[in-house]
Amino acid sequence: MQAELLDIRNHIAQYPPFDDLPEELLERIVAGIEVVYCRAGTPILELGQDNHWLHYIRSGAVEIFRRSGELYNRVGEGEVFGQFGLMMNKKVRFPAKAIEDCLIYKIPDEVFQYLWEQDESFADFVEIEDRSRLRSAVSRREKSNELMTAKVTRLISREPISAPTTVRLQEAARIMTDNGVSALLLMDETGDKPKLTGIITDRDLRTRAVTHALASETPISEIMTEGLITISARSFIFEAMLTMLHNNVHHLPVVEGDEVRGVVALSDIVKYESQSSLFLVSNIYQQKHVKGLKKVSLDVRDSFVRMVNEDANSHMVGSAMAGIGRSFSQKLLELGEEELGPPPVPYCFMALGSMARDEQLVVTDQDNAMILDDSFIPEEHDDYFLALAKFVSDGLAECGYSYCTGDIMATNPKWRQPLKVWKQYFTQWIDSPNAETLLNSNIFFDLDGIHGQTELAEQLKTLISEKASNSQRFLTLLARNALNRTPPLGFFRTFVLEEDGKHQKTFNLKRRGTAPLSDLIRVHALACGARSQNSFERLRDIAKTKLLMEDDASNLRDALEFISIVRIRHQALAIEEGREPDNNVRPKDLSPFERSHLKDAFQVVSNAQKFLRFRYNAGGGRNV
């Protein structure tokens, strides 16, 4: 192949839809290409004119217009236009004009038609719009991971083994032995239909019965676990994994309506979940001191990298990392209570921010707080809770979770307060917002009680969901605040990069990507009174209220997934190469596939911010 044609072939082979084509098709394309140069301001395609070429941009930028003259899109290097007319009547449906000097490769219609008919991925690409291409890219990742596609019922290999709650301890142990199971479901049979009430496991028998030398005739109801965590038979294996991680349970009953279909055990998940995050969490809870936790923490990054390399999606990775971080906090609280003694009054330890949203990655710091019972007396009780907070915070730092530079930690007395004070905080933030309280809202409105009297945290969630949805002024200011961080997409669909400092020629995928998304999703969730914390779950709840149409929620979901997974893969690659992971990405380090679809995702974010400004009348003015 001649050097000039080889250069053309190498360039188009970088970009979709040509990047997946076999060599013979690439050669066929290159052989028929015509090269044209268009000066800035020159019309390239005019409405209604005959067109027999697919246009590929080698360099420069082009604006595409609707029939009405309204701007439809801007496209740049590696992108195509003119395909819709080729698929219809060979008439231009979307006029195009060069807005920069352009070098364009024109691919003849007969080659386009051949590719359209012969290659399914090429046909999918040219038939659908940018957002649909983004959905296609996300779907392709989801389908590559069996955890995402296999239902949890696949793990059920036998009928559930159960017994009435009236059974005695020795009989329960015999039933488990005879059936070779490590968990026994306990049913309340006093009503018209048996109802799942509790569970007993091998571990329960050891720790609650044998250790305390309970009599063989002890009713099993005295030691069974109640308030069961269950999962729907319609759920996927990855959802079962995340439920186990979040709740630290090793046996998960699978239900369909009122019927129990079976029990999934930790060992059942492990054969699918080779990333070992479940084992890591189990290992955390087995440690007896901070030194042991620090040693276990060395495995966190390896677990993260394995999940990424096995095509886990961002929800799985974020939830697994949050579950691991939550487990370190919970174990440190247990160790702290062992060292300091029982707490003088009830309390709840809260995780905030990305851990509360189940969106944590390996580049993270501590965000936590304490809710104390209203019987709390500072002079009598606060020395204990300060010592406990410091024990946990120092332990987390030892395990790789750096101290919060903004001092959003339970060691700060402002964030270690009785429930009544926390209610006053949230009420004031919503009723009288200012710059500081809006910042606090972005942090503290993502909260999760992870230890102690977690119902205290639930009371705060209730207060937030009830008050925020009824305060239009607060929502307007919070929306205006959410518009301060914009996606790094320039006028010509080029990436806007940092111009100086150590991150020169990069953009920050958290600050300019996932953070603006989570901010705008939070505003919509508060507006519709949703209590969910995770951004994907919030989008599901928002769509149910029709505040966003399902298509718009779906576009946001796809944008969040794609930006998140590029960020995750960037961090994993840094770990594999022995570098410290961060959120700053250089476009030249991204694949053409990633660059193209990031632009689509950032465009979704930009459009969503425009709707946010309109929906909450958040345009113009200061933040407060």
Q: What is the pLDDT of residue 206?
A: 85
How many C-beta atoms surround the C-beta of residue 367 within 10 A?
23
The answer to whether the Cα torsion of 271, 276, 278, 283 is positive or negative is: positive
CA separation for the pair 336, 511 (Å, rounded): 35
Give the ranges where 128-162 is alpha helix by DSSP (H): 130-143, 146-149
For the residues of 60-121, what is the DSSP string, one character each? S-EEEE-TTS-EEEEE-TT-EE-HHHHHTTSB-SS-EEESS-EEEEEEEHHHHHHHHHH-HH
- 407-440 pLDDT, tens digit per residue, is 999 999 999 999 999 999 999 999 999 988 998 9
Helix axes 120-127, 130-143, angle to 10 degrees: 140
Q: What per-residue confidence (pLDDT) applies to 149?
A: 59
Domains of the chain: 3-127 (2.60.120.10), 151-270 (3.10.580.10), 464-615 (1.20.120.330)
What's the longest Cα–Cα distance across the chain? 91
Backbone angles phi, psi at 294, to 5 degrees: -60, -40
CA distance 444 to 427: 13
CA 44 from centre of chain: 41
**Per-residue buried b or exposed e for 163-177, using 16+ beta carbons within 10 Å of the residue's own CB:** bebebbbeebbebbe
pLDDT of residue 496: 83
Burial class (CB in 10 A: 0-12, 13-18, 19+), 546: exposed
Q: What is the pLDDT of residue 613?
A: 94
Phi then psi for residue 138, to 5 deg, are -70, -45
**pLDDT by residue (tens digit) across 371-414?**
999 999 999 999 999 999 999 999 999 999 999 999 999 999 99
| pLDDT in the model for residue 235 | 83
* Residue 237: predicted pLDDT: 80
User: Hey, which residues does 452 pair with through a beta bridge?
Assistant: 348
Separation of CA 193 from chain center: 39
Is the pLDDT at 171 greater than 80? The verdict is yes
Per the CB < 8 A criterion, the answer to whether 133 and 557 are in contact is no
Could you give the CA distance from residue 322 to residue 325 in angstroms, rounded to a whole number? Answer: 5
In whole angstroms, give the CA distance from residue 437 to residue 419.
18
The pLDDT of residue 301 is 93
> What confidence tier does 67 reach under pLDDT thresholds 50, 70, 90?
confident
Q: Quick one: average pLDDT of 253-274?
A: 79
**Separation CA 565–CA 559 (nearest Å):** 10
Q: Bigger pLDDT: 595 or 516?
A: 516
- Residue 36 near residue 58, CB atoms below 8 Å: no
Q: Distances in Å between the alpha carbon of 607 and those of 370, 384, 436, 556, 602?
A: 38, 50, 27, 10, 9
pLDDT, position 249:
83
Using the predicted structure, report yes or no on whether residue 620 has a pLDDT greater than 60: no
Cα atoms found within 13 Å of the Cα of residue 130, Cβ hemisphere only: 22
Average pLDDT, the chain: 89
Q: How far apart are the first and last CA of the chain?
A: 64
Predicted pLDDT at 400: 94
Is the pLDDT reported for residue 143 higher than 70? no
Question: Per the confidence metrics, is the pTM higher than 0.75?
Answer: no
- Candidates 331, 339, 326; CA nearest to 401 is 326
What pLDDT sits at residue 131?
52
pLDDT over 80 at 491, yes or no: no
* Sequence-ordered list of residues with C-beta below 8 angstroms from that of 290, at least 6 positions apart, any chain: 332, 335, 395, 398
User: Per DSSP, what are the bridge partners of residue 449?
Assistant: 350
What confidence score (pLDDT) does residue 581 get? 95
pLDDT band for position 275 (cuts 50, 70, 90): very low
Secondary element (H or E) of residue 251: strand 251-256
Q: What is the pLDDT of residue 9?
A: 93
Q: Report the SS3 class of residue 320.
A: helix
Whether the Cβ atoms of residue 600 and residue 513 lie closer than 8 Å to each other: no
CA angle 131, 135, 140 (to 5 degrees): 145
Residues 484 and 622: beta-carbon distance below 8 Å:
no
What Rg do the C-alpha atoms of the chain give, in angstroms?
28
